[in-house]
Amino acid sequence: MVLKFELDRELENRFREAAMRRYGYRKGALQKATKEALSSWVNQHSSKIPEVKDPFKLVRGMLSDLKGKTTSVELHS
């Protein structure tokens, strides 16, 4: 799986430096550090996030009050 996201320059530089120091200045260091960081974040926050069995149903419920009032194009703007 590939995730793409943007970081501000300072955070990116700090992350790269920390990853290289921990895993060495070689290929795969950023990937290992990213996996470790994401795993740590998920473990820390997973008990605080309620389980959602059907996320599409949840979104449909959130948008139900807009039915007939707006178009899908208007929702994208």
Confidence of residue 1 (pLDDT cuts 50, 70, 90): confident
Best CA proximity match to 11, nearest among 34, 29, 28: 34
* Residue 63: per-residue pLDDT: 66
Helix then strand then coil, % of the chain, to nearest 5: 70, 0, 30
Burial pattern 12-43, b for ≥16 Cβ within 10 A else e, equals: eeeeeeebeeeeeeeeebeeebeeeeeeeeee
* Residue 32: per-residue pLDDT: 96
Q: Which residue has the higher pLDDT, 54 or 37?
A: 37
